[in-house]
Amino acid sequence: MTSHLHFYTDRALVDSLPSDLSDEMKSHYLIRRDDQRVSFSGMIMTGDGISIFLPRNSPIPQANSVTGYRYASLLMKGLKRYTRDKALNKIDSDGDGSIGGAKLAVIVDLLEDYCTYGIYTRRLREKVTNMGKPDWRQTIASQAALIGASGPIYLNVCGSRYRSFSNCEVAKIHAFVVRELDETYSWIITGSDISISDAAAIIPPPVQDNNLMIRALENELSLVYSDREIRLINLLIDYIRNTRGHNSSSEVIGLSHFHTMWERMVHSTLKSVVHVNNQLSIPTYRFKDETLHPAPTKGQRTDTVIHNESTNRYVVIDAKYYGAKDLSSAPGWSDIVKQFFYAKALKIFTEGAEVDNVFVFPGDGPLKSVHMQNRQSMETQDDKYPPIKCFYIQPMDLLEYYVSGRKHKDFSNRLMSSEGSA
């Protein structure tokens, strides 16, 4: 493993980056003219190693530290899951600026397959005698029988068995690809600097011509039947055809705009999530002929709502990927108005229920709640505008739950109890 990891965060000052990294990001249009801050989460590979941009407000670990490798692994596994979630759930992600998501999925799937199953083996059926599964038809046709009291007795029974070989061309291709990926990407799987390809090192290399390797893989694909073998061979073909030999001097995998993934992570890791958008009121337009024309596509769409059935309490949650460190990085008027209106709409839909409003920000911060205030008396108007409570959660903590597919019960309970920010 030769990858050296260096850490930064999304929204870092452009002037704080090494000049070669800044130039590389400009060449990929990740930094544009007059940009003062970076807008990117993911990895950038250059000749000097791999630069990891963690989500904003994340703690920055030391380069090549145990914590650093774990954070980097969590981020890339999270990006892979987000790519899958987008495809499965048809998430509207036009604004996330995704780069290299398909490639990341192929790389991780190949390494995970190797860690689970090892190098590809070809199973061959061979004929044996007095071993394996008996073949009575062949035995009766080819062997002399002794006649016993209970019937014929065969001293030699024809049979067959399967043997596995790892010296075929496909196994050589598989081992070659694993060694190649291990050199740069195994930290994504292991969360450390440990190599995973020791078992593949003893297998000789294939003919290193992409077209010949693809031809050998496609020929093998017509001979296999198991789901794992079919999937693995297709992954190898995908990698060789679309990735190997197409690398430039650098590699970029990540999101230019992390806010959609932040919203997805919050939504996916909370328990007791309910879907209410199709229940809320929708706008309708009255025309001059007095006919009403509803517009459901222009209706309200909350990010996340959780519900405690025993107390009939709803919490409307807006996951905001904001700095939330001061007034300049706090939610603006449009964010606040939407939350007030969502709570009002939910109260109409769930008459008698208690409804709370919440913002969720990354990291730590000073905000506790948002109120409306009378300009003259300077008193808050909580009776007319219920406060919006503010919560913070560390991005890496949230990523750990998101990657593992677990529900963050403690954080969910905090939101449901609405016991202030922390």
138-197 confidence digits (pLDDT tens): 767 777 777 776 777 777 877 776 665 567 899 999 999 999 999 889 999 999 988 888
What does each C-alpha distance from 68 to 6, 38, 73, 185, 214 come to in angstroms?
8, 20, 9, 14, 36
3-state helix, strand, coil in the chain (%, to 5): 40, 20, 40
240, two tokens: 């060789």
Cα distance from N-terminal residue to C-terminal residue, the chain:
39
- Residue 163: predicted pLDDT: 63
401 and 289 share a domain? yes
- Structurally, the chain folds into a number of domains equal to 3
Maximum distance among all Cα pairs of the chain, rounded to whole angstroms:
114
For 189, the token pair is 């799987």
Question: Are 318 and 365 contained in the same domain?
Answer: yes
Tokens 């001059």: give the residue. Answer: 288
Q: Is residue 232 part of a domain?
A: yes
CA distances to 78, 115, 138, 291, 345 from 188, rounded to whole Å, are 10, 12, 52, 59, 44
**Rounded Cα gap, residues 332 and 257, in angstroms:** 19
Whether residue 359 is contained in a domain is answered as yes
Same domain, 173 and 234: yes
Count CB neighbours of 162 within 10 A: 10
Residue 205 CA to residue 138 CA, distance in Å, equals 40
Strands (E) across 245-367 are located at: 251-255, 273-274, 284-286, 292-294, 304-308, 313-319, 354-362
Listed residue (307, 298, 297, 318) closest to 276, CA to CA: 307
Q: Are residues 182 and 144 both part of a single domain?
A: no
Could you tell me if residue 151 is inside a domain? yes
Where the chain has pLDDT below 50, the residues are 1, 420-422
pLDDT tens for 195-212 read 888 877 788 888 888 999
Domain edge (last residue) among 192, 222, 255: 255
CB 189 within 8 Å of CB 108: yes
Question: For residue 333, what pLDDT is reported?
Answer: 92
Q: Which residues sit opposite 46 in a β-bridge?
A: 49
Residue among 190, 163, 205 at smallest CA distance from 70? 190
Tell me which of 165, 196, 226 is where a domain ends. 165
Residue 26 lies in a domain: yes
C-alpha span between 175 and 202 (Å, rounded): 9
Query: In this structure, are 187 and 264 located in the same domain?
Result: no
Supply the pLDDT for residue 95.
Answer: 72
- Does residue 209 sit in helix, strand or coil? coil
What pTM was estimated for this model as a whole?
Answer: 0.85
Contact 108, 114 (CB under 8 A): no
Q: Where are the alpha helices (DSSP H) in 191-293?
A: 210-221, 227-242, 259-269
CB atoms within 10 A of CB 242: 12
> Which residues are CB-contacts of 380 (< 8 A; sequence separation ≥ 6)?
371, 372, 373, 374, 387
Domain boundary among 200, 230, 255: 255
Structure tokens at 15: 């002037």
- The reply to whether 21 falls in a domain is yes
Torsion of CA 209, 213, 216, 218, to 10 degrees: -130
The CA-atom distances, in angstroms, between 162 and each of 136, 196, 340 are 17, 28, 68
Same domain, 380 and 238: no
Looking at the domain assignment, is residue 361 inside a domain?
yes
Q: Is 24 within 8 Å of 6 (Cβ atoms)?
A: no
Domain residue limits at 106: 5-119+168-255
Structural domain includes residue 422: no
Residue at 296: amino acid letter: P
Report yes or no on 28 lying in a domain.
yes
Q: Which residues pair with 304 in a beta bridge?
A: 317
Same structural domain, 237 and 327: no
- Cα–Cα distance measured from residue 310 to residue 308, given in angstroms and rounded to the nearest whole number: 6
Looking at the structure, do residues 173 and 61 belong to the same domain, yes or no?
yes
